[in-house]
Amino acid sequence: MRILLYMKNSVKKRDTQRAWPRNYELVLQVYGCTSDFPQAELFGLKQEMRKTCISIISNLADGSSRNQVEAMLKCFGTAKACLFRLESQITIAHKLGLLTNGQYITLNNRVNAALQELTVITNNSRDTHDKEDK
Q: Which stretches does DSSP call E strand in 12-129?
A: none
Asked if residue 14 has pLDDT above 60, the reply is no
**Sign, CA torsion 77/80/84/86:** positive
DSSP state, residue 67? S
Q: Where are the domains of the chain?
A: 2-133
- Residue 68 has what pLDDT? 83
Q: Which stretches does DSSP call E strand in the chain?
A: none
For the domain covering 2-133, report its CATH number: 1.20.1440.60
Asked if residue 122 has pLDDT above 80, the reply is yes
pLDDT tens across 53-76, in order? 999 999 988 888 887 888 888 999
Look at 9-23, 46-60, 103-117 and tell me which has the smallest mean pLDDT. Answer: 9-23
pLDDT tens across 2-11, in order? 333 434 455 5
pLDDT tens across 16-30, in order? 566 778 889 999 999
pTM: 0.82
- Residue 23 has what pLDDT? 87
- Residue 131 has what pLDDT? 54
Distance, C-alpha 50 to centroid of its chain: 12
Distance separating the N- and C-terminal Cα atoms of the chain: 14
Question: 3-class DSSP state for residue 42?
Answer: coil
